[in-house]
């Protein structure tokens, strides 16, 4: 039977769809972001910036809906047997990941306005700029955007390593991997 909502041992199908689609999108955002960082100005770069902005607003929208689902509708799996230290660290990393994936798109939007560009939510709805163009502040905002993205990359690398540690090294004895996996394979 398909479990749409979470159970004691699973986050549920809806949360898994949010989790894995967001993971894919973030790989894309970081890959395009790092490429932009190393690219000379060109029509190709402008094209990449366009897709980067589109997917960045998609990340933001998905995270908002995911958090509404998580805290207003879903039930959460239990962290039985895990040590308090494990629980605290994983909750802290999850919290910081959420903070960054909310703040980076907002900051990217403000940065785009400082650079004189427009931002369309999901490529459709124009967000009215709340800040004037400013070519002095723009390079500083770009630096903040870059270093926040690097921090996000560091944190989600840590998160992936922890997930792989559970899956491969300790054979998922606490069922942490299984909670977010689509297939309930034996590990």
| Residues contacting ligand HEM: total by CB under 6 A | 43
Nearest-angstrom CA–CA distance, 51 and 44: 11
Both structure tokens of 119: 């931002």
Q: Which residue from 22, 113, 114, 141 is in contact with ligand HEM, where contact means CB under 6 A?
A: 22
> Taking CB under 6 A as the rule, does residue 14 contact ligand HEM?
no
Both structure tokens of 166: 């559970």
Q: Tell me the HSE value of 118 on the side-chain side, using a 13 A CA sphere.
A: 9
Q: Are 112 and 53 in contact (CB under 8 A)?
A: yes
Report how far Cα 18 is from the mean position of its chain's Cα atoms. 10
What's the angle, vertex CA 159, arms to CA 155 and CA 164, rounded to 5?
Answer: 145
Q: Which residue from 10, 12, 14, 105 is in contact with ligand HEM, where contact means CB under 6 A?
A: 105
Q: Are 33 and 105 in contact (CB under 8 A)?
A: no
Q: Which residue from 56, 113, 114, 141 is in contact with ligand HEM, where contact means CB under 6 A?
A: 56
> Taking CB under 6 A as the rule, does residue 119 contact ligand HEM?
yes
To the nearest 10°, the Cα dihedral for 52, 105, 23, 86?
150
Q: Residues 66-95 vs ligand HEM: string with x where CB under 6 A?
A: ----x-------------------x---x-
Q: Which residue from 13, 17, 30, 137 is in contact with ligand HEM, where contact means CB under 6 A?
A: 30
> Taking CB under 6 A as the rule, does residue 10 contact ligand HEM?
no
Binding site for ligand HEM (CB under 6 A): 11, 15, 19, 22-23, 26, 29-30, 33-34, 36-37, 49, 52-53, 56-57, 59, 70, 90, 94, 97-98, 101, 104-105, 108-109, 112, 119, 142, 145-146, 149, 152, 156, 159-160, 163, 176-177, 179-180
């Amino acid at each position: 039977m398909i479990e749409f909502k979470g159970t004691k041992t699973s986050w549920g199908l809806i949360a898994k769809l949010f989790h894995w689609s967001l993971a894919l999108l973030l790989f894309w955002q970081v890959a395009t972001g790092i490429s932009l960082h190393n690219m000379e100005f060109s029509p190709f770069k402008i094209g990449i910036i366009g897709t980067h902005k589109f997917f960045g607003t998609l990340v933001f929208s998905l995270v908002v809906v995911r958090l509404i689902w998580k805290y207003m509708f879903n039930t959460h799996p239990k962290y039985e047997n895990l040590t308090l230290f494990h629980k605290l660290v994983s909750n802290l990393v999850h919290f910081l990941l959420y903070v960054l994936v909310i703040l980076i798109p907002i900051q990217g939007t403000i940065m785009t306005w400082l650079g004189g560009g427009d931002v369309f939510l999901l490529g459709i709805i124009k967000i009215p700029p709340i800040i004037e163009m400013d070519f002095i502040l723009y390079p500083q905002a770009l630096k903040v955007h870059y270093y926040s993205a690097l921090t996000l990359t560091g944190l989600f690398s840590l998160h992936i390593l922890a997930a792989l540690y559970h899956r491969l090294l300790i054979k998922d004895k606490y069922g942490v991997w299984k909670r977010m996996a689509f297939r309930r394979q034996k590990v």
